[in-house]
Structure 1
Amino acid sequence: MTTSPRTERRSALPLPLAGQPVFSFRFTPSPRGARLARRLASCQMDAWGWRYGTPAHDSVELIVAELAANAVTHGRVPGRDAELRLSREDGGRVRIEVSDARGERLPEARDAGPGEDGGRGLLLVAALAEEWGTAPRPGAPGKTVWAVVTTAPVRQ
């Protein structure tokens, strides 16, 4: 008699938990990895009490989507993962960090021309975040792009 693999092994994904103040997840530098990072950030915000459709939830989700897309588009190094880290801070702030392996390619917010398809993502990040910036990636090659979102208190 065999048992289902589903009952024998636990998921390797970090499941969003309301009690943990930090959520960290490594993802492949691919569009699929960026989508997964955005989705898990959305689930974690909901677990922390910022429900789907609230301004805080939507701002964090959009910022993660932009930073993760930039990481897999401009910061991709074959064989090296990107990383998402969300931190719930005192005072109703959420810190978002997305790290990639390309430290020599720093992001810049610029106003793209009318004929360009991209180039506006960091302008969205700057508009939604209280502050944002870059830092060297701690303990690994590359960089971390971070943003801080001030949120309304969670209603229980």
Structure 2
Amino acid sequence: MTAPSTPRTSVTVRTFAQRLSATPRGARLARHLALNQLDAWGIPYGSAPAEAVAAIVAELAANAVTHGRVPGRDFELRLSLVTGSVRIEVSDTRVGPPLPPGPGHVPQPDGLAESGRGLVLVEAYADRWEVVDRVPPPGKTVRAEVDLPPGRRRARGLLAPG
């Protein structure tokens, strides 16, 4: 005898997480994966939110590979749809100082320097960002959010009405 079937509701995944090798190739892949996931969520390639997220992911992944790399350890990219925005989290396993400065305390790079602009770009593109301890330890997570315009909040029925 079989039990009567109950209707199942579909579950929409609103989080994407991927561990990537702490190499330049892994950093490039993080950007491509982020753009692909945003498109799947109804945030199309070339839109202002997608371009902002792509720039943030590229900078944070490059920082994780360049400054947060621990031999034999990966970094993690996590994207989440939260009410009205996309949250980006990039975690690496580098322990201890120096942690990147918090929002509003980003040092301005020397005009001729070849590096030092990553967090300036994150500050410019993100509506909010912070550095927190990685869970689980060891390491740190840089978390940034990009707000979606009201018309995008209903993209493919995934986001809260706005």
Q: TM-score, normalised by structure 1?
A: 0.84
Figure out how many residues of one structure are paired with residues of the other and give that number: 138
Which sits farther off after the overlay, 107-116 or 49-58?
A: 107-116
d(CA) in 2 for partners of 1:34 and 1:19? 27
Q: Which residue pairs with 2:125 in the alignment?
A: 128
Which of 93, 97, 109 does residue 101 from structure 1 map onto? 93
- Cα distance in 2 for partners of 1:140, 1:27 equals 17
Paired residues of 1:101 and 1:141 also in contact (CA < 8 A):
yes
User: Is contact 1:103-1:136 (8 Å) kept?
Assistant: no
Aligned to 1:62: 55
> Which has the greater radius of gyration?
2
The answer on 1:118 being equivalent to 2:136 is no
SS of the residue aligned with 1:78? coil
Note the C-alpha offset of 1:130.
Answer: 1.0
Give 1:89 shift: 0.5
Deviation at 1:140, TM superposition (A): 2.5
Match of 2:72 in 1: 79
1:137 to 127, 131, 134: 134
Cα distance in 2 between the residues matched to 1:110 and 1:103: 21
Calculate the TM-score normalised by the size of structure 2: 0.81
Gaps of 5+ in 1: 1-17
